Structure 1
Amino acid sequence: MSDAHHHHDFASANQAFFDKHAHQADHRPKAAELAESVCKAVLEAYPFNKESTTVLDYACGTGIVARGLAPHCKSLLGVDISQGMVDEFNKGIQNHGIPIEQMRAVRADLKGEESELEGIRFDVVVCSLAYHHIVDVAAVTRTLAFFLKPGGSLIVVDFPTMDVAAVPQEVVHSIAHKGGISESAIKEAYDSAGLGDFHQVLFKGPETPMHPEDIFLAKGVKL
């Protein structure tokens, strides 16, 4: 099986799964607590300025993390391959009274090309709890680095270890890194994307039936 075919299988599986379950995503056990712990770590990792900071939230899901970041930035654009998730994201910002010019989501499968996202570059790109679903994390990291302004930061939040035996069977087919993602793999991806000043920290989230308690936050700066 080729890498491209392998990647396509996971991308298709994720798109289908999240389209189907988008309306339930925010109601999973401890989803709100998990999002809150992620937001806290992200806000500690970067000096957000609500007057100037522009954010791209990649694999944004329903926007449960983005809504926590929105009060701290000038604008936030969510991107996801799942139309179901994008629809939930945009419905959620309407329900929370957030202006669409400040926060919205679009469906896109980004490649890192000038024609994408109207040529906009961002101060911060965030990807939260999605890397374990992605086969080629180095390629995605290069794509995300493309959308950063010089001096901008890529922040990736994910699991350093996972007990796949605890993950419900219907989800397993959409997880590419079933044991979690090592710090060395993330650092290698950041290095290959031309991101410097790398550092990684661990923090605790709520333990759930699907997720471990330990979470990492990796950060690097576009040189």
Structure 2
Amino acid sequence: MSRIDLAVLLVLGLLLVTAKQSMQMSLRNPNAEIETSSCKLASLRLGLVLRSDNSEKALLDSDFFEPDSENPDVDIAGRRFHVGTLNKTPIMYVKTGTHSVNVATAVKTLLLTFHIFGIIFFGSSGSLDKDILMPGDVAVPKAVAFTGVWEWKKFRSKNRGKLVFGDFNYPENGENLLGTAEQSLMHQLLIQQTSLSNKKLFVVLQGVSNVAGGKSSNSGIKYIASYTAFLAATKFINSIPTPRLACE
């Protein structure tokens, strides 16, 4: 065999080897092997969910949050998801707005799009008893029940709901300061139900700002309530280990 024939066979052999190696790359994700070998997969993060500007201001004023230097935020479906660390713990936070359906949608997007191992919700809320919880206190619910979506009507309101609490007074029916309630026509999903349906753990921390059903507190008190809730959330975050990926 001539030298030219040997050269041609050698070149063909090299081409076949190269083609065989390139076909071993993943068809679903061409960069999968490269990312795995160099451990550049997205890290697991803790999701922080907040509803108000006061809560976001409390987080940013603390200087505990450090945005990611390369990708500090991601915009998806009209919401901005902020990426960074909180006292070195990888987190991602999103401000959802006040309505429950907005919270549920944002949490669902957070869980389906990113590597989130748990959800922490913090903010301000009203106390059911002014003698038990005072402004500045932080409450952590032990259990949560989803029994329906209701719109509460105040006592002696002109627009009465179909559920009249006074009808259940004992031993006789009569007036009840709880007033009435009407089932909401808009279907809403709750921050807790969304997390549970995706088999993710969650914790809710609420700073007391006023008494539920009473006069709304001013923005200053709401900010203090949000800030104390955030500090409690930070202490909790510092106490839990951050799960690691297999390649780390």
TM-score range, shorter chain: 0.3 to 0.5
Q: Which has the higher contact order (CA 8 A, sep 6+)?
A: 2
Compare CA radii of gyration and give the structure with the larger one: 2
Structure richer in helix, relative to its length: 1
- Output the TM-score relative to the length of structure 1: 0.32
- Output the TM-score relative to the length of structure 2: 0.30
